[in-house]
Chains A and B, each alone.
Chain A
Amino acid sequence: MSALAGVRVIELAREPIAFAGKLLADMGADVILVEPPAGDPARAYPPFLEDLPGPDRSLWWWHYHTSKRGVVIDLDAPEGRERVKALVAGADVLLESEPTGRLAALGLDYDDLKAARPELIFVSVTPFGRGSANAAAPVTDLTVLAGGGPAWSCGYDDHALPPVRGGGNQGFHTACHFAVMSALTALIWRASSGEGQFIDVSMHGASNVTTEAGSYSWLVARQTVQRQTGRHAQVIMTQETQMRCKDGRWVNTGVPPRAPGEFGAILGWLRELGLAESFDDAVFLEIGAAMEKPITYDLIGVDAEATAIFSAGREALALIAENVTAYDFFVGFQRRGIAVGPIYAPEEAFEDEHFVARGFQTEVTHDDLGRAFRYPGAPYKLPASPWRICRRAPKLGEHDAEVLSGLELPSGRRPP
């Protein structure tokens, strides 16, 4: 049985909240996606099936609206608003990211709906939170990440280059993660109290608390972190952690080796590769391997021997990188107990044997096309209540008949 079976969610289609609806839908909630008659603009987002645009061919749309049912309702028409109210009367959660003031003007805000449906959990996801003086300012994923802190911490050592937006719409994703955590929290409370409530999620706030030391270095010590190529932004500049391997691919070398076992493992691999003879600092790896305890950070740059051992470890990683592929570097060091990783493109991770073996690739049937496609799978494995894509993304108005035809409108009229 799905964890959220029987939970009905009304999602008023908008790009920033699409992922929140998907997370709930793929866990079994009955998510009704409400689009305007012209369709949601995101139906026109590339890439497209076979690169041919069309309202049902956007792969963006396919991904973000799995497991949902779709209906068309015109909120600008009185009858459309009646239909939304009728849908809400049977709903547990309403997800919205409408422009500020729009729902109130339409008579569809929380205060308009709660009397008829006190159990409703109303999740509002807005750029700066309800009531902000900036509520009317439009945002995109880029501007959310720029104002909210992540961009300040991402980029290159060379600060003549601009800060970088982390790819993949993560500003909106982060807001969606908070929207889903909020909805689940409110569902748990409702199970004991019987009451719904209003929840105000700020996209800007969500990014602000998703910057790790960016925020708390300032909160605690009034220190400002600086962006650095491919590694943690810190108050001071640190050494590179990305290395390029023999095949031109990059790896992340993680935390530099400090423990005796790590130095021993590095030396062992250098010998296997026939590189130990030509590595001048091999002696320091030997000394490091014979230490009783790991080198502590406070000794580096202070104690000559500890510094030499630490440097030898880093240089040995670089030498090995020059001589093996990124994949071999990854597996070779991980099998020796040292945490490193290849910098995969997303599709390379998707095809990697580990994720294949875990069943991450998920086949979704597109009955209309007579084909099935591989989709990304579960973010978590709940064996008793599994994640599942129960249907492809809806076509415009695909479920109008089954969802809307039986609705009791508040006015008592039946829909035509």
Chain B
Amino acid sequence: MTEAGPGPTRAPTPPGALAGIRVCDFCGQLAGAGATKWLAAFGAEVIRIEDPVRQGRWDILRGIGPFVDERRGLELGGGYNNHNTEKLGVTLNLRTERGRAMLAELIAQSDVVTENFAAGVLERWGFGWERLRAIRSDIIYVSNCGFGHVGPYRSFKTWGPIVQAVSGLTFASGLPDRPPAGWGYSYMDHTGGYYMAMAIMLALIHRRRTGEGQWVDLACTEAALTLAGPALLDWTVNGRPSRREGQPHSNRSPSPPMAPHGIYPCAGEDAWVAIACRGDDDWARLAAVIGEGWTGEAAFASRAARLANEDALDARLADWTAGLAKFEVQRRLRAAGVPCSAVQTPGERVDDDPDTRDLWPTATHTAIGAVRVDGIPVRFEKTPWRIERGAPCLGEHNEAVFGRLLGLSPAEVARLAEEGVI
């Protein structure tokens, strides 16, 4: 692991699984930052590079809420801190010749260069693929943007919601005869980041075996489109479009066929419970818990019948759930072996749910202080992830990184700051 410079004292832990890998990281927002957050949590040295002239404002999350208290400012954004834990932060003004030279020196000592700018931005700064591999012949370069660097829409720009709209994810989420409900957050910023992390590691594995670097062109819209496989094959094989009468109805499940399958109202304000019966056994168990005569009606006797009469089934089931608290339904149906979950609020799943107990590590940010963040939902027996340090403040590790990697003295680093290079 790297020497972090000023910061909290770090307890000794086993070396990270990705220790020794250095990433020259231009990623921001979530689609990019989420990818390098994984690498950093497993011990890679991720050096986040930001623009001192714009004070890192390219990453809109830097200065926007949530905030821990009444303070506001570019160092205090809660989302930025969440997505950039365990990274080092440096500044480089690439408008200056010295800034570009320092970047080249950093790249020469890095394994990976990552970015999620609009297509062509890094190239316009003079660090396109040809230049990167001229600096280091086995460099891995992973770019992540909405439409990728090739194709008719390469100049088009996206945010997570646009990626989700274009790729069919928004369309596929909703109730019939209503507008698309879509995703109430940037699912594809998270997921684009996961694919970016996979791409980086796949390229590292390839390089270890062959000595060869490469440029990975990741288009978030394309990654998203791979998530609609069965619907796409229904189209290409059977010619059946998913834009058709009665669709989408995403709280139901035609494949695998399940009924009942939905989200039902419970007692209390905006309280809901999800129930799914995988087959007749689940239905028999659910019917036993409900204990009302209607569950024995022929209309609900088989899965095929329940699928054919799903509107009536849902109405009956909703009448039953509406009189109960959501966690009471969950408790009773889980005990009976029926798939069931309350729709949990953020507070319920973060604070009260024993199954997320180890999921929210406390990270210490130099300006914000100690705050809980998203952890990693995975336990490694021998090389556990570690999230202790919060996101870097702007240029927080200039002295440490430029000193250690570029051999600059603190006085030289101070002078570069005065000259507007860093």
Partners in one complex: yes
Contact of B166 with A174 in the complex, beta carbons under 8 Å:
no
Contact string against A for B residues 307-345, beta-carbon threshold 8 Å, 1 for contact and 0 otherwise: 000000000000000000000000000100111111111
Contact of B171 with A339 in the complex, beta carbons under 8 Å:
no
Q: Give the contact stretch, choosing among B3-11, B152-160, B396-404, B406-414.
A: B152-160
Q: Give the contact stretch, choosing among A230-238, A285-293, A303-311, A402-410.
A: A230-238
B208 to chain A, nearest CB (A): 6
Measured in the bound complex, the distance between the Cα atoms of B165 and A379 in whole Å is 17
Q: List chain B residues, Cβ under 8 A from A143.
A: 274-276, 339-341
Contact of B206 with A63 in the complex, beta carbons under 8 Å:
no
Contact of B377 with A42 in the complex, beta carbons under 8 Å:
no
Q: Interface residues of B: mostly helix, strand, loop or mixed?
A: mixed
Contact of B377 with A209 in the complex, beta carbons under 8 Å:
yes
Contact of B235 with A208 in the complex, beta carbons under 8 Å:
no
A16 to chain B, nearest CB (A): 12
CB-CB contacts below 8 Å: A48-70 with B: 49-51, 59-60, 62-64
Q: Give the contact stretch, choosing among A73-81, A82-90, A133-141, A315-323.
A: A133-141
Contact of A354 with B153 in the complex, beta carbons under 8 Å:
yes
Contact of A210 with B223 in the complex, beta carbons under 8 Å:
no
Q: Give the contact stretch, choosing among B101-109, B192-200, B290-298.
A: B192-200
Q: Tell me the nearest residue of chain B to A252, going by C-beta.
A: B165
Tally of chain B residues near chain A (CB < 8 A): 154
Contact string against A for B residues 1-30, beta-carbon threshold 8 Å, 1 for contact and 0 otherwise: 000000000000000011011000000001
Contact of A385 with B203 in the complex, beta carbons under 8 Å:
yes
Q: Does B139 contact A (CB under 8 A)?
A: no
Q: List chain B residues, Cβ under 8 A from A255.
A: 159
CB-CB contacts below 8 Å: B136-181 with A: 147-148, 150-153, 155-159, 161-175, 178-181
Contact of B190 with A210 in the complex, beta carbons under 8 Å:
yes
Q: Tell me the nearest residue of chain B to A191, going by C-beta.
A: B208
Measured in the bound complex, the distance between the Cα atoms of B223 and A173 in whole Å is 12
Contact of A350 among B152, B213, B218, B235 (CB under 8 A): B235
> Chain A contact residues (Cβ within 8 angstroms of B): what range?
35 or more
CB-CB contacts below 8 Å: B213-262 with A: 213-219, 221-223, 225-238, 240-243, 248, 250-251, 253-258, 261-262
Q: Give the contact stretch, choosing among B45-53, B90-98, B120-128, B354-362.
A: B354-362
Contact of B153 among A47, A227, A334 (CB under 8 A): A334
Measured in the bound complex, the distance between the Cα atoms of B345 and A50 in whole Å is 42
Q: Tell me the nearest residue of chain B to A198, going by C-beta.
A: B381
A150-B187, A354-B147, A376-B229 in contact; A3/B18 too (CB < 8 A)? no
Measured in the bound complex, the distance between the Cα atoms of B203 and A1 in whole Å is 12
Q: List chain A residues, Cβ under 8 A from B300.
A: none
Contact of B194 among A41, A177, A344 (CB under 8 A): A177
Q: Tell me the nearest residue of chain B to A210, going by C-beta.
A: B190
Q: Does A358 contact B (CB under 8 A)?
A: yes
* A-B CB contact pairs (8 Å), 6 listed: A208-B356, A220-B65, A224-B346, A337-B157, A381-B216, A385-B203
Other than the given A341-B162, A354-B151, A381-B217, 14 more pairs (CB < 8 A) read A42-B256, A142-B253, A150-B185, A159-B270, A162-B263, A178-B194, A178-B377, A185-B38, A208-B359, A215-B349, A252-B182, A340-B162, A345-B241, A357-B150
